Amino acid sequence: MPTESAISDLTRQMTDAFNRRDFDSVAALYSQSAVWDTSAIGLGVHEGQEAVLAFHEDWQRAYEDYEMVITDFEEIGNGITITLPERSRG
């Protein structure tokens, strides 16, 4: 299991790749069984690496300028990380 420092590094790498719109690098950081849960904002649950990547691409396509800023995250076990994003400035 990755250390807290490794999780911090991976979270930063994912955020940086997302902001560069480098979706291949974003996808490489997710497992095949990744889940991106946006149900709290009415956008559903995206299961699997391909579905998560498609969601990211579709989301950013809607914005000319978009930046993800993570204000906090927590590794809750079994490789699951919860991130708390700052409100988007898109």
Domains in the chain: boundaries: 4-85
Residue range 4-85 in CATH 3.10.450.50: yes
Q: How far apart are CA 40 and CA 5, in angstroms?
A: 28
| SS3 category, 71 | strand
pLDDT tens-digit series, residues 17-74: 988 889 889 888 888 998 888 898 899 999 999 998 899 889 888 888 878 777 667 7
Global model pTM greater than 0.75:
no
Residue with tokens 């990547």: 53
Q: How far apart are CA 45 and CA 52, in angstroms?
A: 9
Q: Distances in Å between the alpha carbon of 34 and those of 27, 52, 65, 90? A: 10, 7, 26, 25
Residue with tokens 């299961």: 47
pLDDT at 89 over 50: no
